[in-house]
Amino acid sequence: MSLDRETIKAVFESFKALKILVVGDIILDRYVFGEVERVSPEAPVPVVEVQKEEFRLGGAGNVANNLSSLGIKTYLLGLVGQDYGRHIIRGLLKASVVEDLTVEDPKRPTTEKTRVIARSQQLLRIDREERASVEGRTLQELLERLDLEVDGILVSDYAKGVVCRPLMDRIREKGIFFSVDPRPQNKSLYVGAYLMTPNEKEARAMAGEESLPHLGWRLKRELNLKTLVITLGAKGMALFDREYKVFPARARQVYDVSGAGDTVVAVLTACALAGMDWDSACELANLCAGIVVGKLGTATVSPEEVFAYFEEGCGV
């Protein structure tokens, strides 16, 4: 089924009835914007004169923000530290109308990525994180907060320790739809997912270097996945459901691909829970990703932007 304005409108309307829980690694994205006019006399490095700073929700937080931007009742479960970062994240969640279920872990900092940018070029990234698996009382709190009535769960794994076997076992026990944006090192945790959305590099790390169709079917079979979608960057995405299909990308301009995978898994999960067929879901996810990659940094897309993009002839 090809997309048209009425179909898209009906899908967005159906999103308003959904409740989705996002579980995973929450990241605080800090952007430091400035100008470079000289090289430091202390070392051969550029001197950045800071002009502004921005904070955005990254990782699982960006996934939740994407869902909320589409009008979906969204909950976010993950970890924050007992530091200033938790206050910024909670403020951003409130502004994004995302229900905050975060758990404070006194043993780790709030995961933070600082990007220094000058003239639209990233000069440096500084990471502050703890990647050990969550355990003890903190793990128990996470498991307890899974006891929530929702239509589906989206697992956003950035390999920072939240997504672990006890958590995934508890999610499977709930017996409801769950999707996964994976990391190869945690492959064994994703068995039985209703949807998994690796990029091509992640898929090859999990299933080998054979042809895309072969590795896709193999990965789907090994993990007993209901549906697999492999994102292919500028080439679009490949769907492995009853058959194999490739959907071309719909980007008008690629400015920054960071966070595009978050948008894809958010849109596909929402479409599946709204009862949309997979072909149309992939077309809509491509459309939304095409908008997001035209923005700098982690970003979201609104229904209004989708309609405008579609009517400008960038739709299907």
Rounded distance, CA 259 to CA 48, Å? 25
**Tokens in use for 207?**
């299933």
Antiparallel, parallel or unpaired: β 103-104 and 99-100:
unpaired
> How remote is the C-alpha of 147 from its chain's centroid?
22
By CB atoms closer than 10 A (0-12, 13-18, 19+), residue 259 is: buried
With a CB cutoff of 8 Å and minimum separation 6, the contacts of 296 are 31, 117, 120, 255, 256
Question: Could you give the angle at the alpha carbon of 261 between the alpha carbons of 260 and 266, nearest 5°?
Answer: 100
Residue 167, φ and ψ in degrees, nearest 5:
-65, -45
The CA R_g of the chain, rounded to the nearest whole Å, is: 19
The one-letter code for the residue type at 14 is S
Residue 295's CB: how many other CB atoms inside 10 A?
A: 17
Identify whether 262 is a catalytic site residue: yes
**Segments in 175-259 forming alpha helices (H):** 200-207, 212-222
Q: Which of 169, 262, 277, 279 is catalytic?
A: 262
Alpha helices in the chain (DSSP H): 5-15, 60-69, 84-95, 136-144, 165-174, 200-207, 212-222, 260-273, 278-292, 303-309
Residues catalogued as catalytic: 262
